[in-house]
Amino acid sequence: MEKLKGRAVMGGIIFGKLVFYQRDEQVVKKRKVGNPQLELQRYEYARDRAINELDALYEREIKNIGKDHADIFMIHRMLLEDESFVEKIEKSILEDECCADYAVQLAASQVAGELGHAEDEYIRARTADVKDVSRRLIRHIQNKSEQEMNFEKNSILCCFDIEPSETVALDKHKVTAVCTCYGSANSHSAILARTMNIPMIVAFGKQLTEECNGKRAIADCYSGTLYIEPDKDTIRKMLEKREEEGRKHELLKRLRGRRNITLDGTEIQVYANISGLMDVKYVEENDAGGIGLFRSEFLYLQNDDFPDEELQFYTYRRILEKMNGKKVIVRTLDIGADKNPDYLSSDMEENPALGMRSIRICFEKPEIFRTQLRALYRASVYGSLAILFPMIIDPEEIIAVKAIIQDVKDELDAEGVPYSDKVEIGIMIETPAAVMLSDELAREVDFFSVGTNDLEQYALALDRQDSRLEKYCKPHHLAVLRMIKMACDSAHRYGKWIGICGELGAELSLTELYLAMGIDELSVSPSQVLPVRKKIRSISLTDRLGILLRYGVIRPDELYDYDMFR
Ligand code: PEP
Ligand code: MG
């Protein structure tokens, strides 16, 4: 079995056969033409045909996918009529005597280059549309017919990239999922896939090749994993997951708009974890009360260099605005270990998980840290922002962080830039050290968020990257549960709140225990918000101590420490 990881765009568990589709290479050569006027006519004739084709597609797809999404063809039409695009093409043909197809390709690459540098993520993603429509135009200039996309039933379409017009043309009865080497979650193809309910994973990179053609596979489009020639165990797990996801879907319809309240009236916040601006849609869809963890490092991983202040400011601001006053907890840069951008040249490490990662990189590279903090504070006036610092192991570290924050605020004051004075400061509890010092840490911060993924790794000495160790990582391991309880008690002793944002937060067999401990917030992936809500609504906390005893989180002899015997 081969297991490939990409970026999940639209969920689903799909069993099928892989079909690697390769678009016919469009060969465009630079040629000088003898009669530029004639060449201009040839281009204009091709452009008219391309426009007619787009009009027809628009009319057809309005019925299939609705006006909002069919509008993509109108956007393409407008591009073909865009003055500066047309001028570029005409200039190449008339002044440089270039052949029409080359003139179009040149103009398209210039426009795509300009868009690619735009500040706005949405505008940047439009480069794919320029390429798509230019390819259509060139096809008409070269007088070629459209390449057919014929697939057998149950095909998982694999390709380098898929264009919006190709996505729309997919026969959903045959193509059950799409996996691409490249592409972004913000592209129109991705937007269309979500609308058309086509499970999709993008950005597999070079690991997805033609060699997969004809192989059996399971696309877990929730986690972004493609299992090629899956083994029996994986097939069983995926069948279970498919069933589970089906059930979750039903819940989605019934539980939206309800409160997260136990049978005896205790209310708890259920927030969602996200990796980027595009994920806010799922937060809304699943009716989460806020964003409990925005893993900001994905901003860094998606770029060719450290993202600048403006790009970060724009992203944080948009997320805060979209959340409309609901809490948004942004975790500062947590790269290193398994999350390494190419541009971060770091020394080889024997044990990367124990190495130069996360807040340590921020201390080593203060200018990068300050850039992020400036962007965050500038954005803070657009909503309810909280900032979460990862991998803290010592109160000294959070004191140092707070000094840097003060510096950044002073700088903004001097520049007359406004920021909110209500930004909460919190830390991840994800190392045994943070648990053991949770009393001291609680004095320094407004809240804790337990990162169980790393806490399990460090407390149980289990490399979270090594799938062979999964069987040792029991969700009910008492060491971890008692650590969570300890951090919870420390937070509350100092009047601070505490949440869980690691994967264990969504473990429904532990929800009751978390509530009995007094956890104030659970932040889970968007699709898990409603199942957690359902679970909360089925729990009674009238016997909190009984629950803690039952899970072994407190021992019977410890009961003397509790109020009931005093
Ligand atoms: C965690 O460690 O539990 C956590 C939420 O952070 P990450 O998984 O990004 O390390
Ligand atoms: Mg972590």
In the prediction, which pLDDT does 82 show?
92
In the prediction, which pLDDT does 36 show?
94
Confidence of residue 467 (pLDDT cuts 50, 70, 90): low
Catalytic-labelled residue, pool 159, 179, 188, 488: 188
C-beta of 426 in contact with ligand 1 (< 6 A): no
Measure the CA–CA gap between 75 and 165, rounded to whole angstroms.
12
Residue 297 pLDDT greater than 70, yes or no: yes
Active site residue 173: no
User: Helical H runs in 66-163?
Assistant: 67-81, 83-94, 100-116, 121-125, 127-141
Q: What is the pLDDT of residues 103-139, one digit of tens each?
A: 999 999 998 888 877 777 677 777 888 888 999 999 9
- Kindly state the percentage of the chain with pLDDT values over 70: 95
Q: What is the pLDDT of residues 198-221, one digit of tens each?
A: 899 988 888 899 999 999 999 999
Can you read off the two tokens belonging to residue 95? Answer: 């002044």
Q: What is the pLDDT of residues 521-554, one digit of tens each?
A: 999 988 788 889 999 999 999 999 999 999 999 9
Residue 185 pLDDT greater than 70, yes or no: no
C-beta of 505 in contact with ligand 1 (< 6 A): no
In the prediction, which pLDDT does 563 show?
60
What does pLDDT average to over the chain? 90
Task: Give whole-number Cα distances, 341 to 276, 293, 299, 422, in Å.
Answer: 16, 20, 10, 32
Active site residue 188: yes
C-beta of 334 in contact with ligand 1 (< 6 A): yes
**Are the beta carbons of 426 and 487 closer than 8 angstroms?**
no
**Are the beta carbons of 224 and 500 closer than 8 angstroms?**
no
Q: What is the pLDDT of residues 471-523, one digit of tens each?
A: 787 888 999 999 999 999 999 999 999 999 998 998 999 999 999 999 999 99
Could you give the 3-state DSSP secondary structure of residue 524?
strand
In the prediction, which pLDDT does 360 show?
95
In angstroms, how far is the first alpha carbon of the chain from the final one? 59
C-beta of 453 in contact with ligand 1 (< 6 A): yes
Beta sheet of 2-5, edge-to-edge order? 2-5, 225-228, 216-220, 13-20, 155-159, 175-180, 200-202, 7-10
In the prediction, which pLDDT does 302 show?
65
Could you give the 3-state DSSP secondary structure of residue 566?
coil
Ligand nearest to the CA of 331: 1
Residue 453 pLDDT greater than 70, yes or no: yes
Worst-scoring range by mean pLDDT, 38-47, 272-281, 440-449?
272-281
In the prediction, which pLDDT does 9 show?
82
What would you measure as the largest C-alpha separation in the chain, in angstroms? Answer: 101
Q: Mean pLDDT throughout 18-44? A: 90
The sign of the CA dihedral 114, 116, 117, 122 is positive
Identify which of 334, 340, 358, 389 to mutate to test ligand 1's pocket (most ligand atoms within 8 A of the CB). 334
Residue 178 has phi, psi (to 5 degrees) of: -125, 135
Q: Please give the number of the atom of ligand 1 that sits closest to the Cα of 503.
A: 3
CA atoms within 13 A on the CB side of 553: 25
Tell me, yes or no, if the pTM score tops 0.75: no
Confidence of residue 188 (pLDDT cuts 50, 70, 90): low
